[in-house]
């Protein structure tokens, strides 16, 4: 059964949602006695869009956010659109309309909401048009993810697909080159041409990509690691890889 409402908290997450979808707001709570430069823009935006804001104590906000760091603002909202594989063609068509080469991020088995939020933030900064995740065994778009993403959850579609391998094959048929990161390859990220229509695949920390996901990549690359640590946090590695693609695209 679909959820009838969601919680959103954190200054950037709530502000971005007001700007993108003010019609979704049911209730908005602000920390009583706090009227600083960070919270006032949300108060002003809420007034502008006719969203009633209630003042509440810190304990009330702590309870509503289940102990998460809410930064003095919590909202109850209607659920947003859930993107599926059926939306990918439209997302790529929109990129083509803007004369942008397809640029996608695929996360295989990333279950930590903080990592997903950070990857959304990286993706937004790099100009990624969508993040693709499997429907099962993957982090969902929660209040924590939105807060960590500092607004990027409203600008980068999170596409949930039933069969990741099938989706990857469909992207390849649409001319998208799929590059995956894997520690066992000898090919360094910096030695590969990364311009053109592209999807970057990042696997879960520790386990990496699943076998079928790895087999459906057009090319595997790795980051050069000079120290004793064998791998980076997935969101850090994602940022490095995305911006190497950005660097090469800007150089063309």
Q: What local confidence, expressed as pLDDT, does residue 41 receive?
A: 86
| Among 136, 104, 131, CA closest to 119 | 131
CATH number of 6-77: 3.30.1330.30
Strand positions, DSSP E, the chain:
6-9, 25-31, 53-56, 73-77, 83-84, 103-108, 130-134, 158-161, 177-181, 198-203, 219-221
Query: Which regions of the chain are under pLDDT 50?
Result: 1
Write out pLDDT tens, residues 167-221: 999 999 999 999 999 888 889 999 999 989 999 999 987 778 899 999 999 999 9
| Among 232, 226, 220, 225, CA closest to 192 | 220
Q: What local confidence, expressed as pLDDT, does residue 188 receive?
A: 94
Write out pLDDT tens, residues 65-81: 877 788 889 999 998 88
Q: What local confidence, expressed as pLDDT, does residue 228 receive?
A: 59
Share of the chain residues as helix, strand and coil, in percent rounded to the nearest 5:
40, 20, 40
CATH for 83-251 (2.60.120.10, 3.40.50.150, 3.90.580.10, 3.40.1280.10)? 3.40.1280.10
Task: Match 């600083």 to its residue by tokens.
Answer: 36
Q: What local confidence, expressed as pLDDT, does residue 213 receive?
A: 93
3-state secondary structure of 180: strand
What DSSP line would sit under 95-142, residue for residue?
Answer: HHHTT---EEEEEES---HHHHHHHHHHHHHHT-SEEEEESSSS----
In this structure, the strands spanning 177-181 and 83-84 are: unpaired
Domain-wise residue ranges, the chain = 6-77, 83-251
Q: What local confidence, expressed as pLDDT, does residue 227 receive?
A: 66
Q: What local confidence, expressed as pLDDT, does residue 1 receive?
A: 40
pTM to 2 decimal places: 0.90
d(CA 47, CA 25): 12
Asked if residue 223 belongs to a known ligand binding site, the reply is: yes
């Amino acid at each position: 059964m679909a959820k009838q409402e969601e919680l959103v908290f954190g200054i950037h997450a709530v502000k971005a949602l007001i700007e993108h979808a003010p019609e979704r707001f049911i209730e908005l709570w602000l920390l009583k006695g706090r009227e600083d430069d960070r919270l006032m823009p949300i108060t002003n935006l809420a007034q502008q869009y006719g969203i009633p804001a209630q003042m509440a104590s810190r304990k009330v906000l702590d309870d509503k956010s289940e102990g998460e760091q809410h930064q003095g603002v919590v909202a109850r909202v209607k659920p947003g659109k859930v993107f599926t594989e059926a939306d990918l063609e439209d997302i790529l068509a929109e990129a083509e309309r803007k004369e942008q080469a397809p640029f996608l991020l695929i996360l295989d088995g990333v279950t930590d909401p903080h990592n997903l939020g950070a990857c959304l933030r990286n993706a937004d900064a790099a100009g990624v048009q969508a993040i693709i995740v499997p429907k099962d065994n993957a982090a969902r778009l929660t209040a924590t993810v939105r807060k960590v993403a500092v607004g990027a959850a409203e600008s980068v579609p999170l596409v949930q697909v039933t069969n990741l391998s099938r989706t990857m094959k469909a992207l390849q048929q649409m001319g998208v080159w799929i590059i995956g990161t894997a520690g066992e390859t000898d090919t360094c990220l910096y030695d590969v041409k990364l311009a053109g229509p592209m999807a970057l695949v990042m696997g879960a920390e520790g386990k990496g990509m699943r076998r079928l996901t790895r087999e459906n990549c057009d090319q595997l690359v790795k980051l050069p690691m000079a120290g004793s640590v064998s791998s980076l946090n997935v969101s850090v590695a994602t940022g490095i890889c995305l911006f190497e693609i950005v660097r090469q695209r800007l150089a063309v």
